[in-house]
A and B are shown apart, each in its own frame.
Chain A
Amino acid sequence: MPEHEVVEHDVLVIGAGGAGLSAAVAASAAGVKVGVVTKSLLGKAHTVMAEGGVAAAMANVDERDSWKVHFADTMRGGQYLNNWRMAEIHAREAPDRVKELEAWGALFDRTRDGRILQRNFGGHRYPRLAHVGDRTGLEMIRTLQDHGIHQGIDFHMEHTILTLLKDGDRVCGAFGYDRERGRFKLFRASAVVLATGGIGRAFLITSNSWEYTGDGIALAYHAGATMLDMEFVQFHPTGMIWPPSVRGILVTEGVRGEGGILVNSAGRRFMFDDIPDNYRSSTADNEEEGWRYVTGDKNARRPPELLTRDHVARCIRREVREGRGSPHGGVFLDISWIKAKVPNAPEHIKKKLPSMYHQFKQLGDIDITKEAMEVGPTTHYMMGGIKVDAESQMSDVAGLFAAGECAAGLHGANRLGGNSLSDLLVFGQRAGKFAADYARQNPARTFPRDQADDAARRALLPLERQGSAEGPYAIQHSLQSRMQDLVGIVRREEEMLAALDEIAALKHRAATVGVPGNREYNNGWHTALDLDSLLTVSELITRAAIERKESRGGHFREDYPDKSPDWGKYNIVIRKGAAGEPEVSRVPVQPLPAELQQVIEENK
């Protein structure tokens, strides 16, 4: 192997979404040398797509809100499998992080008295989401990006990390290639922060982009870190379903937060038909009360459309299965009906949901101010991922940190909308800060060349086979459709066992994948290299899902349709065994301290 180009940083951040940028800014503020690697250009990470808002109990709109209520909402949404300490830190620190964004130039929508406006969202008791129309993620990533470029951080855009480097038990850098020229690069670092986002590309119908191949989870897993809650994948209830080319693209929950209703082909608001017991006391039982809630009546309870995502997604699936779906296999989401309630409704809708208006108009020939949208569930978010320490975000591997969607713990079995953007800010910053401390106290000294050479050799194989072998797109597509069918929104043991066989077969196919062309900006080669992570996370999701023999949050088992109190006592963890096989085990959920138990009781 020829010499690889070497780059040196104290802290290497992998990912430039909200979590990665927050980590980089914090690490750099702590005075260490920071580098950021990202597969895309700066500002294009998934965070840019977030629409609805960022959850933080600032109590600007409803003074009854507090970190305690936010904490209790998050725990209930997560069905009490959350890491309570992360949920507590998150609820306590989110308001300050949002205010910090404002100090860095973000402009949120305002209340009448000029403070940050907050909107309703599913599972949040009070209006809690700071937002900018329906493009909150763009505001957030741009603010962090524009702040970050003046902090002396080195950005390596369009670089992909292939493997983490380890010196004994600790991490000491990472190895990857630049997409433009296909040259390998060795990043030496005393601490590494993974902020690589989610896994949506493992499924066929998803709101996620090509980047979401679960790289961070796979990198950490192969480096020996522990994975947590891998069975919990969030299927967002409302994705676009027609025309076929837009299938999966997200329709923000903000539509329902602004008064949008779900109806079946018979015109019935079916969400009133099935309200889970633990939400009954806080959910409206008639349409009038639901409307009063979305228009800010503090005495009203929320409409059932704003129940948690896992529940709404399953209700939609039920309607479709029982023959009450819309023409293209979804249900109707209607915001246009508010014209019966608000003067000048079309203008109001365009103002509140500009990008949804645009998206449907341009891609679906639908004017949402006049007609209902057709929507159905789409793979959206990964609750599970790398197990981290609540305070520092360090994984089980020394020097390896993780934050944002690729880390696990905060959301338990189901994430509430808006709790991701706040997660990125709170734990991104913590990861950056603690990584900087770690790097200063434990400088890495040895950088094993052989690990890099090995990764480089493997990475070049698809190009050596050229176009004569099977291409990467066919393999990726097979995997996505198998995962969608067998490990999707409704799961059964036999199907998941079949999925494991399929994944094993796909691993063989992936081991002989070939790509035409050379190393320069070759999307085919990039896709081939991402297969490894996709297959790894697919297997981990499936194994954890087989293990959990109950239904809870994002994980629904047709063969075990009920929640089991017994399973509520365990999280599932997976580690790579000595022989390279995943070792699945249960660990007891950490018991809540009495004060926090009290907080939960008070907010039931």
Chain B
Amino acid sequence: MAEAVFRIWRGTAAGGQFVEYRTEATTGMVVLDAVHKIQAEQANDLSVRWNCKAGKCGSCSAEINGKPRLMCMTRLNELPLEKPVTVQPMQAFPIIRDLVTDVSWNFEVKRKIRKFSPRAADAPDGTWRMAQADVDRVQEFRKCIECFLCQDVCHVLREHKYFDTFIGPRYFVYAAALEMQPIDKENRLSDLRDPHNIGYCNIGKCCTNVCPEEIKITDNAIIPLKERVVDEFYDPLRMLFRVFK
């Protein structure tokens, strides 16, 4: 492979612009490697988050050629290198600097979801018995690496900025994991309807399409939750109204 051109967004909350960098693209390189190479050789103060470099920690989220992705799992050989590769921070969240955004809102939202609360233990030694099949269903949701790419792409947050009234796909996945946890006895359906407003979601699946863990966010988490909410509080008119609000 030869030289590739990267247009990386540089700036702060006050403003910024794309800056062009040229760097060598070698076999197997991912976008994060290129960003690191540029950081080490040309722009020591370039800001980027990362930890594992293996798609396990969800730190390196960004928008590559306009698509929300993990930089460490995006191979250069799957991008059209004849054109510059654009790398910019997630657009739904406030900018801190360069590729780093302020995702603290997500951590606050999580606290508002009712915590796990187990039923009494099944066995005298304080343990529970669970079937693998029941565990499997929830493990899909527990795979979430909290990269917040789904939050970034969800129009309710990205365009409508309903950060105060909507928890976003990541936290529907989280709530689904708790609701379907085999030994949890809490009920979160009322909260999901209001104040978490699951009704705002129009199941467009943008979130599912960007999830690096391939969690079927809409089909397996949101839709079943919506069904449960509807079963418990049947109120079709209001739901319809909320979708178009």
Question: Which B residues, 92 to 147, have Cβ-Cβ distances below 8 Å to chain A?
Answer: 96-98, 100, 102-104, 107, 110-111, 115-116, 118, 121, 125-132, 135, 138-139, 142-143, 145-146
CB pair B54–A521 under 8 Å, yes or no, is no
- For chain B, the count of residues having a C-beta within 8 Å of the partner chain is 61
Which one, A24-32, A39-47, A318-326, A435-443, is touching chain B?
Answer: A39-47
Interface-centre pick from B46, B107, B132, B142 (highest chain A CB count, 10 A): B142
B5 adjacent to chain A (CB < 8 Å):
no
Which B residues are CB-close (under 8 A) to A108? 135
CB pair A107–B33 under 8 Å, yes or no, is no
CB pair A210–B57 under 8 Å, yes or no, is no
CB pair A107–B129 under 8 Å, yes or no, is no
The closest CB in chain A to the CB of B116 belongs to A105
**Of the residues B28, B30, B139, B178, contact of A242 by C-beta under 8 Å:** B28
**Of the residues B56, B97, B110, contact of A135 by C-beta under 8 Å:** B56
CB pair A149–B111 under 8 Å, yes or no, is yes
Which A residues are CB-close (under 8 A) to B58? 43-44
B176 adjacent to chain A (CB < 8 Å):
no
Which B residues are CB-close (under 8 A) to A363? 28, 30, 54, 73, 75
Known contacts: A243-B27, A363-B73, A471-B44. The answer to whether A521 contacts B55 by CB under 8 A is no
Which B residues are CB-close (under 8 A) to A40? 49, 51, 57, 59
Q: Which residues of B contact A (CB under 8 A)?
A: 12, 26-30, 33, 39-41, 44-59, 73, 75, 96-98, 100, 102-104, 107, 110-111, 115-116, 118, 121, 125-132, 135, 138-139, 142-143, 145-146, 178, 181-182, 184
Question: Which A residues, 325 to 361, have Cβ-Cβ distances below 8 Å to chain B?
Answer: 355, 358-359
CB pair A244–B27 under 8 Å, yes or no, is yes
Interface of B is mostly: loop
CB pair B44–A524 under 8 Å, yes or no, is yes
Question: Which A residues, 454 to 478, have Cβ-Cβ distances below 8 Å to chain B?
Answer: 467, 471-474, 477
CB pair A114–B130 under 8 Å, yes or no, is yes
A113 adjacent to chain B (CB < 8 Å):
yes
**Of the residues B29, B110, B132, contact of A243 by C-beta under 8 Å:** B29
CB pair A49–B57 under 8 Å, yes or no, is yes
CB pair B96–A180 under 8 Å, yes or no, is yes
Which B residues are CB-close (under 8 A) to A116? 127
- For chain A, the count of residues having a C-beta within 8 Å of the partner chain is 67
Which A residues are CB-close (under 8 A) to B178? 105
CB pair A521–B184 under 8 Å, yes or no, is no
Which one, A138-146, A229-237, A579-587, A589-597, is touching chain B?
Answer: A138-146
**Of the residues B12, B52, B121, B128, contact of A48 by C-beta under 8 Å:** B52
The closest CB in chain A to the CB of B52 belongs to A49
CB pair B104–A157 under 8 Å, yes or no, is yes
Question: Which A residues, 67 to 114, have Cβ-Cβ distances below 8 Å to chain B?
Answer: 99, 102-105, 107-110, 113-114
Which A residues are CB-close (under 8 A) to B127? 99, 102, 115-116
CB pair B143–A138 under 8 Å, yes or no, is yes
